[in-house]
Amino acid sequence: MAKNRGGRGVRKIFLHIALLSILGVSLFSCRTTKNLAEGERLYTGGELNIKDAESSKYKRELILDLEEVNKPQPNKKILGMRIGLWAHQKVKSNKAGFYAKWVNKKIGEAPVLLEKVNTNSVKKLMKNRMENLGYFNSNTKHEVIENKKTGFIEYEISPGNRLHIDSIFYNKVGEFKVDSLIQDYLDNETPIKKGEPFSLEKLKKTRDDISDFLKKDGYYYFTSNNLLFEADTLSTKEQNQAIMELRIKDDASELALVPFEIKEIHVFPKYSLDTSEGIKSADTVVLNDVEFIQSEIFFRPDRLYPYLFIQEGEHYSPENESYTSKRLNSLKTYRFVNIRYVEDSLLQNSKGQLTANIYLSPLNKRSFRSELQMVSKSNNFVGPSLNFEYLNRNLFKGGEALRLSSKIGYEAQLNSGGVSTGLNSIETGVAAELIIPRIVTPFPIKDKFRYSIPKTKFKLSYDLLNRSQWFNLNSFLAVYGFEWNPNIFVTHNLNPISINYINIGNESDAFKKLKAGNPFLARSFEQQFIPGMSYSFQWSQLVRNIKRNRFYFSFNAEFAGNALALAQNIGGVSGDDKMFLGQSYTQFSRFDFDLRNYQNIGKESRLVSRVFAGIGLPYGNSVSLPYSKQYFSGGPNSVRAFRIRSLGPGNYHPEDTIDGTSFFDQAGDIKIEANLEYRFPIISFLKGAVFTDAGNVWLRNKDSRNGKFTSNWINEVAIGSGIGLRVDIEFFVIRLDVATPLRKPTDNGFQWQDSFEIGNKSWRQENINWNFGIGYPF
């Protein structure tokens, strides 16, 4: 009986909530309608009633089209309430407070009145839409339904029978090659099939496709406006059938009916409006029939020529023009790339000729930049950084870019309360990078990169990290690699040679003691010579904001010591601790992927989800990954309810320390993580977020921390949720997140949070984690 009474009590509570909600909506609705003038009625929309449609599929298509012209749209409702209208009325009556003024600025709207609806205009638009879909005998009636303070319009629509395509017939112009090309396109591409319903949009697309097809064959002046479709309904045996006659318009220019070929190509490697008057007096170098015109050698013709897809003697091709423009722009040497064509003459064999002029306006060859930054890293280190950079964009007059950079910075790690943890560091470094816009290898590779220019990168760098109270870290890096883009969405990076030498010095007694008590950590810092190769693949739809639902995917693979170990095996060197130049080197493979989804909800809100997984496989010389290659969990770009590097591995739950030792020992070989974040606007450049994160790291080999990855890993996943604020000013974002654990590691394994004692100071110190960051977390 007690259970039954409890169930009735719960139902009664829900009933009361529902009744209060309905009452609130009703009162809000009354508020907006009582402010209307005498005789005015609020328009609540137009209802479409489709009669005698041929099929449910056609009916759905028809409703979608007619709804677009079913104007005006009534005042918007949010949870059943016209909040935008309410705010507008408040402001208009001079009774608005701060909240009403803010709402009016964001979503306020004037009342949409029934008497302002122009039904004749709406019915004309509906008739036009139906004719575009092949309903040429439609009929539309309407009835105005008036209530006390509101009203709507009911449209009764009889579309009639829909016209269908019997066939397409092309009416030739005469003795022009364009006739056979169009006929071949219609025969092979079959853009409109027999029996398809009439669609003006489909016919327009067919004209556009034919125009693009002809341009690829050199028809420079041809456009879709030169084509005309006419429907013949009298020559068919069945009703509601039409033979579509396609022909070229009588007033089409003769230039549109002939192909054009490239007669000459002129390239101006250093063009500007200031020097255009002196073009005629500039020197001309001819290479493979292409004229390079420049007063002095700014860009070597033999280096520039391979980037041109426009070729003399070939038909004009918009595809070759596009590839030429993209490749020249990807050089990063030029500010503007402008390709213009000049018509020369019309030959007797019905071919035209074009001269292609390629104007290249360069960026400044040299630049120097210095900047003072406030840096926030993923490991909670925050501090100022001073950077200097020198850039030469055309070092050897072949588009080669030389970048010299240096940096000096001070960083302090903050805990969840914004207080320093005692882990401070000074970082300095210098780097030199040479980027060559072509493949540079000991053996020749034929260039098959049409979309953009592949780049070869050479990089040398040295960094010194002085981590106070612990050690100094000297890092030398040499990289030889390639980058290329087969299209706008995909990027490949391949580094066949990557040599990283890291030397640890000035170790403090505390750090030596820490290593002595943790053999896994000690081994991670011992193996610091890392010869290897790496590859990364990135596919991103974020480069174009054209979809409501966009994806990002990246994959990274890294291999260390394999080639060196193979060479030594062939040379007869055996054992598990091979040396090179007196130094033990690292052997491992490392793989990870990052998949993200960005779902737009409305104009400015977005739901973002992310899944990350990675694994490192030490072998041979190594029993663990080098410390710099290990994974960690927790922090501003990870599971934000936990401090940086405070999760894992596995069930490992160290005692709270104030000396920062947990910073070093909570890393692993395997990482799995998932994030879900809803981002929404608040006001102007201030944005908000609500998020949930889950994840952890694990070890491949068992050690004293009991963090080995097992089939029970799902029960060792930490979960946290929180809210955040972002100051989003175009390309600069400052982020503040606060989160609390929902499921966390304890002395008894992972457990769900069973209480949220916000008023308890000690609970807040243990369970509330603040994260400050620059940029979005993902």
Mean pLDDT of the region 331-353: 84
Residue of 479, 469, 537, 531 lying closest to 502 (CA atoms) = 531
- Asked whether residue 622 falls in the same domain as residue 502, the answer is yes
Q: Tell me what percent of the residues of the chain surpass a pLDDT of 90.
A: 37
Please check the confidence at residue 34 and state whether its pLDDT lies above 50: yes
Residue type, 134: G
pLDDT value, residue 26: 43
pLDDT digits 0-9 by tens, 701-747: 777 777 888 888 899 999 999 999 988 876 778 888 999 999 988 87
Q: Look at residue 701 and tell me if it is in a domain.
A: yes
Q: Look at residue 367 and tell me if it is in a domain.
A: no
Please check the confidence at residue 520 and state whether its pLDDT lies above 80: no
- Asked whether residue 125 falls in the same domain as residue 173, the answer is no
Q: Look at residue 16 and tell me if it is in a domain.
A: no
- Asked whether residue 252 falls in the same domain as residue 356, the answer is no
Please check the confidence at residue 211 and state whether its pLDDT lies above 50: yes
* Residue bearing the bigger pLDDT, 479 or 658: 479
Q: Which of 295, 329, 362 is the last residue of a domain?
A: 362
Phi and psi at residue 60, to the nearest 5°: -65, -40
Mean pLDDT of the region 614-629: 83
pLDDT digits 0-9 by tens, 421-446: 556 788 899 999 999 999 888 877 76
* Residue bearing the bigger pLDDT, 524 or 284: 284
pLDDT digits 0-9 by tens, 295-306: 889 999 999 999
Give the separation between CA 255 and CA 260, rounded to whole angstroms: 9
Residue of 219, 216, 311, 220 lying closest to 265 (CA atoms) = 311
- Asked whether residue 108 falls in the same domain as residue 169, the answer is no
pLDDT value, residue 10: 40
- Asked whether residue 143 falls in the same domain as residue 279, the answer is no
Average pLDDT, the chain: 83
pLDDT value, residue 29: 47
Give the separation between CA 575 and CA 220, rounded to whole angstroms: 69
Quote the domain boundaries for residue 266. Answer: 260-362
pLDDT digits 0-9 by tens, 401-418: 999 999 998 877 655 444
- Asked whether residue 355 falls in the same domain as residue 215, the answer is no
Please check the confidence at residue 655 and state whether its pLDDT lies above 60: yes
Mean pLDDT of the region 528-536: 88
Q: Which of 158, 174, 209 is the last residue of a domain?
A: 158
**What domain count does the chain have?**
4
- Provide the CA 533 distance to its chain's centre, in angstroms: 27
Query: Which CATH number characterizes residue 636's domain?
Result: 2.40.160
- Identify the weakest region by mean pLDDT among 89-98, 360-369, 488-497, 540-549: 540-549
Please check the confidence at residue 769 and state whether its pLDDT lies above 60: yes
pLDDT value, residue 228: 92
Phi and psi at residue 117, to the nearest 5°: -75, 125
Q: Look at residue 368 and tell me if it is in a domain.
A: no
Could you tell me the two tokens for 621? 């010389």
Give the separation between CA 33 and CA 35, rounded to whole angstroms: 5
Give the separation between CA 688 and CA 333, rounded to whole angstroms: 40
Confidence category of residue 374, pLDDT binned at 50, 70, 90: low
Mean pLDDT of the region 35-43: 86
Please check the confidence at residue 528 and state whether its pLDDT lies above 80: no
Query: Which CATH number characterizes residue 304's domain?
Result: 3.10.20.310
pTM: 0.74
Q: Look at residue 370 and tell me if it is in a domain.
A: no
Residue of 329, 195, 187, 338 lying closest to 267 (CA atoms) = 338
Confidence category of residue 755, pLDDT binned at 50, 70, 90: confident
- Asked whether residue 615 falls in the same domain as residue 547, the answer is yes
CB-based contact 211:227 (threshold 8 Å): yes
Q: Which of 9-18, 172-181, 463-472, 586-595 has the highest mean pLDDT?
A: 586-595
Pairing of strands 334-346, 139-146: unpaired
- Asked whether residue 645 falls in the same domain as residue 728, the answer is yes
Confidence category of residue 373, pLDDT binned at 50, 70, 90: low
* Residue bearing the bigger pLDDT, 180 or 528: 180
Taking each helix axis from N to C end, the angle separating 509-516 and 519-526, rounded to the nearest 10 degrees, works out to 120
Mean pLDDT of the region 172-183: 83
CB-based contact 478:498 (threshold 8 Å): yes
pLDDT value, residue 419: 45
pLDDT value, residue 215: 93
- Asked whether residue 732 falls in the same domain as residue 654, the answer is yes
Q: Tell me what percent of the residues of the chain surpass a pLDDT of 70.
A: 86
Q: Look at residue 198 and tell me if it is in a domain.
A: yes
Q: Which of 122, 138, 158 is the last residue of a domain?
A: 158
- Asked whether residue 685 falls in the same domain as residue 549, the answer is yes
Please check the confidence at residue 14 and state whether its pLDDT lies above 50: no
- Asked whether residue 318 falls in the same domain as residue 244, the answer is no
- Asked whether residue 219 falls in the same domain as residue 320, the answer is no
Q: Is the dihedral of CA 697, 703, 709, 712 positive or negative?
A: negative
pLDDT value, residue 605: 87
CB-based contact 777:637 (threshold 8 Å): yes
| H or E stretch at 320 | helix 318-329
Distances (CA, A) of 587 to 54, 528, 563, 574: 69, 10, 10, 14
Q: Look at residue 372 and tell me if it is in a domain.
A: no
Confidence category of residue 316, pLDDT binned at 50, 70, 90: very high
Distances (CA, A) of 650 to 35, 174, 432, 572, 710: 63, 79, 40, 40, 9
State the DSSP code for 402: E
- Identify the weakest region by mean pLDDT among 108-117, 310-319, 366-375: 366-375
Please check the confidence at residue 15 and state whether its pLDDT lies above 80: no
Please check the confidence at residue 454 and state whether its pLDDT lies above 50: yes
Mean pLDDT of the region 578-599: 85
Q: Look at residue 476 and tell me if it is in a domain.
A: no
Residue of 256, 255, 245 lying closest to 223 (CA atoms) = 256
Mean pLDDT of the region 378-407: 85
pLDDT digits 0-9 by tens, 226-285: 999 988 888 887 888 888 899 999 888 888 888 999 999 999 999 887 655 446 567 889
Give the separation between CA 190 and CA 205, rounded to whole angstroms: 13
